[in-house]
């Protein structure tokens, strides 16, 4: 193996850059997109011999130049400090995906581990899949040839958990000298878990081509987890770390994914207690120009409340899918509750919203529910107090819709009273003020939107000693074209 000196590698890389007529600014953008960490000024200093870079960062510079050259069908290439996996030959990656698809075709979810083993073998590494439990507290290994004897890992205190929390690969060499990359498993932008990618040579830990192959495998694996989950209980059995109540089983079966987004909007929601949900539900619909969303809180915390929540969710979807507006959506839920339970008094509160994704115009309706909050540049700037009507289930006297003009990056925060009224051992409420403080602190840390919702709900659970007397639901919707970067691997756009 020939290993170049840094000076020689820099000279040849600079020559290749000039030959390719690639500006330093364009090179930096390409370099950053494949995981480079040096700034644009640092890159310029390196190329001009005024700064040293670690080998893995120099190789990312070389890869960025070579990919540009490949696009131009060029001949002069930048050298790597050591041989890397081929960035041109896609046979291994395609073979891995074929094995993954072949092994899961007409197969129950229990056959996912052997299919994953066969796919990873095509890429020259070994893997173990971990899935996040329903409460998003631990990562649970999926039983298989390599993961059968492993224990769950805490999301908040492990390197694997950091990969999950930050949606970023975490390379490391463990105490047993095993080189591995903890790679997040995503279904779109929904975090499913992490993939333990074990490799033989620690020098490969920063190989950008290996990172891309592992990320591609993990991403398609996330899609398969979602698809296979609906045809068997094998995946849910891994995620279910404690028994679910009947009402929780009902609610979880109806909810959409907790995280979703388009190129114009992000949405993330969390519900607790995950194992014993009663009357809280949420739903949404995203189109190229509109984001529709709703949170509904049926009174009570039992099976009756769960049935009322399920009926409310069905009524909301039915009305929305028929093209009806916010007022009609809420009224359809109202009539369903007023007429559908044999004369028994059943009530619910809710927030119904519609955001124009081109203009930022938000229209909303709040029947008997806590007012949503507006988060702008990391600070809660106001409550959205318009658009009121009485509880759903009570007849309407009068009502108007609320309206707000959002700025790019604004976040709408919808929460149920199970959050603000959560009590600790001394019977002290969590309060809206503490909710605002927790959201602002999490936002200041630069966390991805779904990690903010997870962090806030964990704070609620800690405040109430892990046992909630009422459902606590948080939904955050962000009008953005930039926040998506926190939930995408840089390799996606390379």
For residue 12, the tally of other CB atoms under 10 A from its CB is 18
- Closest alpha carbon to 239 in 92, 140, 374: 140
Q: Token match 């600014």: residue?
A: 25
- Report the C-alpha gap between 486 and 347 in whole angstroms: 39
Q: Token match 């333990």: residue?
A: 196
Full pLDDT tens readout for the chain, 494 residues:
456 788 888 888 888 888 888 899 889 888 887 878 888 888 989 999 888 998 888 888 988 888 888 777 545 567 667 666 655 455 777 888 889 999 999 999 999 999 999 999 989 999 999 999 999 999 999 988 887 789 999 999 999 999 999 999 999 998 888 999 999 999 989 999 999 999 998 888 888 888 889 999 999 999 999 999 999 999 999 999 999 999 999 999 999 999 999 999 999 999 998 888 888 999 999 999 999 999 999 987 788 889 999 999 999 999 999 999 999 999 999 999 988 886 677 899 999 999 999 999 999 999 999 999 999 999 999 999 999 988 888 877 667 899 999 999 999 999 999 888 888 888 888 889 999 999 999 999 988 999 999 999 999 888 887 777 778 999 999 999 888 877 776 555 44
Paired strand residues for 295: 282, 351
Report pTM: 0.81
- Report the C-alpha gap between 494 and 481 in whole angstroms: 18
Task: Name all contacts of 51-56 with Cβ < 8 Å and 24+ positions apart.
Answer: 52/6, 53/6, 55/6, 55/81, 55/82, 55/206, 56/205, 56/206, 56/207
Tell how strand 361-367 and strand 373-376 pair up: unpaired
- Report the C-alpha gap between 417 and 437 in whole angstroms: 17
- Report the C-alpha gap between 155 and 164 in whole angstroms: 7
| Residue-level pLDDT at 474 | 96
Q: How far, in whole angstroms, is CA 36 from its chain's centroid?
A: 22
| Residue-level pLDDT at 341 | 80
Alpha-carbon distances of 138 from 63, 152, 241, rounded to whole Å: 36, 6, 9
| 173 torsion bin: left (phi>0), alpha (psi -120 to 50), beta (else) | beta
Alpha-carbon distances of 31 from 28, 73, 251, rounded to whole Å: 5, 19, 45
Q: Per the structure block, which two tokens stand in for 55?
A: 């080998």
- Report the C-alpha gap between 169 and 491 in whole angstroms: 11
| Residue-level pLDDT at 126 | 95
Mutual angle of helices 159-166 and 449-463, in 10-degree steps = 120
Residues in the chain, total? 494
| Residue-level pLDDT at 221 | 95
Q: What is the CA radius of gyration of the chain?
A: 25
């Amino acid at each position: 193996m020939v290993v170049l000196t840094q000076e020689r590698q820099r000279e040849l890389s600079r020559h290749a850059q000039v030959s390719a007529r690639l500006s330093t600014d364009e090179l930096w953008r390409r370099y950053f997109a494949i995981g480079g960490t040096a700034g644009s000024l640092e890159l310029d200093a390196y190329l001009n011999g005024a700064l040293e870079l670690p080998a893995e960062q120099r190789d990312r510079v070389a890869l960025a130049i070579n990919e540009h050259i490949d696009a131009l069908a060029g001949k002069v290439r930048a050298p790597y400090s050591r041989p890397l996996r081929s960035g041109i030959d896609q046979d291994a990656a395609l073979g891995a995906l074929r094995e993954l698809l072949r092994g899961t075709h007409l197969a129950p979810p229990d056959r996912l581990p052997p299919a994953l083993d066969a796919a990873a073998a095509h890429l020259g590494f070994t893997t173990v899949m971990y899935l996040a439990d329903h409460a998003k507290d631990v990562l649970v290994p999926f039983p298989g040839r390599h993961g059968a004897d492993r224990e769950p890992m805490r999301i908040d205190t492990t390197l694997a958990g950091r990969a999950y929390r930050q949606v970023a690969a975490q390379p490391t060499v463990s105490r047993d000298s095993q080189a591995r990359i903890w790679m997040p498993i995503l279904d779109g932008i929904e975090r499913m878990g992490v993939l333990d990618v074990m490799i033989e040579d620690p020098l490969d830990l920063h190989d950008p081509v290996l990172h891309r192959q592992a990320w591609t495998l993990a991403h398609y694996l996330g899609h398969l987890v979602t698809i296979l989950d609906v045809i068997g209980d094998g995946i849910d059995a891994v995620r279910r770390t404690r028994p679910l109540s009947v009402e929780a089983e009902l609610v979880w079966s109806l909810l959409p994914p907790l995280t979703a987004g388009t190129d114009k909007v992000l949405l993330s929601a969390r519900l607790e207690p995950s194992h014993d949900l009663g009357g809280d539900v949420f739903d949404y619909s995203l189109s190229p120009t509109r984001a529709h969303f709703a949170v509904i809180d049926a009174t009570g915390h039992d099976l009756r409340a769960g049935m009322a929540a399920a009926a409310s969710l069905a009524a909301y979807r039915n009305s929305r899918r028929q093209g009806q507006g916010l007022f009609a959506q809420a009224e359809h839920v109202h009539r369903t509750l007023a007429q559908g339970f044999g004369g028994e008094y059943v009530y619910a509160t809710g927030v119904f919203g519609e955001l124009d994704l081109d203009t930022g115009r938000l229209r909303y309706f709040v029947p008997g529910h806590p007012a949503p909050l507006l988060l702008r540049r990391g600070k809660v700037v106001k409550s959205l107090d318009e658009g009121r009507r009485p509880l759903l289930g009570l007849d309407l006297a009068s009502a108007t819709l609320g309206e707000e003009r959002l700025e790019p990056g604004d976040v709408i925060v919808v929460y149920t009273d199970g959050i603000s009224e959560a009590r600790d051992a001394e019977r002290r409420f969590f309060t809206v003020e503490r909710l605002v403080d927790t959201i602002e602190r999490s936002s200041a840390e630069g966390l991805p939107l779904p990690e903010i919702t997870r962090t806030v709900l964990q704070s609620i659970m800690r405040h109430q000693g892990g046992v909630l007397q009422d459902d606590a639901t948080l939904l955050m919707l962000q009008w953005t074209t930039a926040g998506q970067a926190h939930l995408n691997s840089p390799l996606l756009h390379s």
